[in-house]
Structure 1
Amino acid sequence: MSAPVVVLVGPMGVGKSTVGELLAARLGTAFRDSDADIVAAQGRPISDIFVDQGETHFRELERAAVRAALAEHTGVLALGGGAVLDASTRELLTGLPVVYLTMEVGEAVKRSGLNTARPLLAVNPRQQWKLLMEARRHHYTDVARVVVPTDDRTPEAVVEAVLDALRLKRVPAQEADQSDDPGTPGDPGTPGKEKQV
């Protein structure tokens, strides 16, 4: 059965897409984002789906998109911030090399200003972010093999921490852009064992 070489989870704005693209380049593999899959399939932004059809409908689309990506994609996969809320998604993530990218609210403010382009942060974004994290943190932790803080780290430093934590074979940085080598995972450690790096 095929599966992604790395699955990135974490709150909105933590940098899953940025880190995921860099990580895929270092591994000589492809990057995929489940939120981008939804946008492409629906032909409109996620914020519009929330407004027009509600969060419940979006979560149904998300569940299907994540299931498809986990079944089809063998590179680096980033999941939307709320994907772990679904019990069936958490079950599918069992035993996979899942990395939880963390950040504190102060870092979230620095990075995105918690702007209202995020549908779940439209009212009192700082407080909403804290409430979302209280509801989701344990799910992130439960599915993660490793936890990588991103506060005060460049995306490149986060990538190195992920590679080290999962003991993945790298494509040398200077060759990452030209290489067709898919990269091979090393010993990713014991499934279910979570560590912070």
Structure 2
Amino acid sequence: MAHSLTRRIDRPIVLVGLMGAGKSTVGRRLAKRLGLPFVDSDHEIARAAGLSAAEVFEKFGEKEFRDGERRVVARLVDEEPRVIATGGGAFLDEGTRKLLDEKTVTVWLDAPVEVLAERTGRRDTRPLLREGDREKVLAELDAKRRPVYEQAHLRIVSNEQAHGVVVESIISALEDHLS
């Protein structure tokens, strides 16, 4: 059963934020709640490359990864309304950010560094976190990226509360934003 908000959504909803903020998990639940398709840009990159997103990043470097990510995101936002989870760095690209600003509703999932460190520590799939102190690296990324993420249309705090609470917060913010 689609949410009453769904018929007012005329563009993709794109989740942005640091790794571990919950973009994929919350995105899946949000899409289900709204009766919309869900897509994860990292999975699309992996599908196109025949490698995991982390393997693409490691094998070809960050610049090549970001180029592929930019092309994938541009393709995804040109399709019907859906929920899209992006990689943590996608929104940092000026061209991608401009495209998302014009063609989508961007939702920044803002999570405290301690929460991000705990969540990302569960699996070793993040190339940027393999070297050094996880929490320190995340704090540096947060400080550098926060001014860019603040440009998203909506900001939702994603801390230790249940993902369902975050989904409801997004729905409420979307209702306000679209009215």
Q: TM-score range by the shorter chain?
A: 0.7 to 0.9
- Higher helix content, 1 or 2: 2
Native 8 Å contact 1:101 1:150 kept in 2: yes
SS at match of 2:39: strand
Which residues of structure 1 form unaligned runs of 5+? 168-185, 190-197
Native 8 Å contact 2:113 2:142 kept in 1: no
What is the CA distance between 1:55 and its match in structure 2?
Answer: 0.7
Native 8 Å contact 1:114 1:121 kept in 2: no
Which residues of structure 2 form unaligned runs of 5+? 1-9
1:105 to 113, 116, 120: 113
Partner of 1:120: 128
Partner of 1:193: none
Cα deviation digits, residues 102-161 of structure 1 (max 9, x gap): 11111112223275420011112221111111221111111x121111112111000000
- 2:137 & 2:177 partners in 1: Cα distance? 38
Q: C-alpha root-mean-square deviation of aligned residues, in Å? A: 1.7
- 1:161 & 1:134 partners in 2: Cα distance? 24
- 2:108 & 2:68 partners in 1: Cα distance? 22
The answer to whether 1:138 aligns with 2:152 is no
The answer to whether 1:46 aligns with 2:53 is yes
Task: Answer with 1 or 2: which has the greater Rg.
Answer: 1
- 1:145 & 1:107 partners in 2: Cα distance? 23
Native 8 Å contact 2:108 2:155 kept in 1: yes
Partner of 2:19: 12
- 2:24 & 2:123 partners in 1: Cα distance? 18
- 1:136 & 1:74 partners in 2: Cα distance? 27
Native 8 Å contact 2:45 2:69 kept in 1: yes
Q: 1:16-95 alignment to 2 at 5 Å? A: 16-95=23-102
TM-score by length of 2: 0.87
2:161 to 148, 153, 162: 153
What is the CA distance between 1:64 and its match in structure 2?
Answer: 0.4
TM-score by length of 1: 0.80
Aligned in 2, Cα 1:73/1:36: closer, same or farther, shift over 3 Å? farther
- 2:28 & 2:58 partners in 1: Cα distance? 29
Q: 1:173-188 alignment to 2 at 5 Å? A: 188=178
What is the CA distance between 1:93 and its match in structure 2?
Answer: 1.6
1:166 to 154, 174, 179: 174
SS at match of 1:68: helix
Cα deviation digits, residues 41-73 of structure 1 (max 9, x gap): 111112211221111110110110111111124
Native 8 Å contact 1:99 1:145 kept in 2: yes
- 1:188 & 1:123 partners in 2: Cα distance? 42
Cα deviation digits, residues 65-103 of structure 1 (max 9, x gap): 111111124111111100011111111122432110011
Instruction: Judge which range, 133-142 or 156-165, deviates more.
Output: 133-142
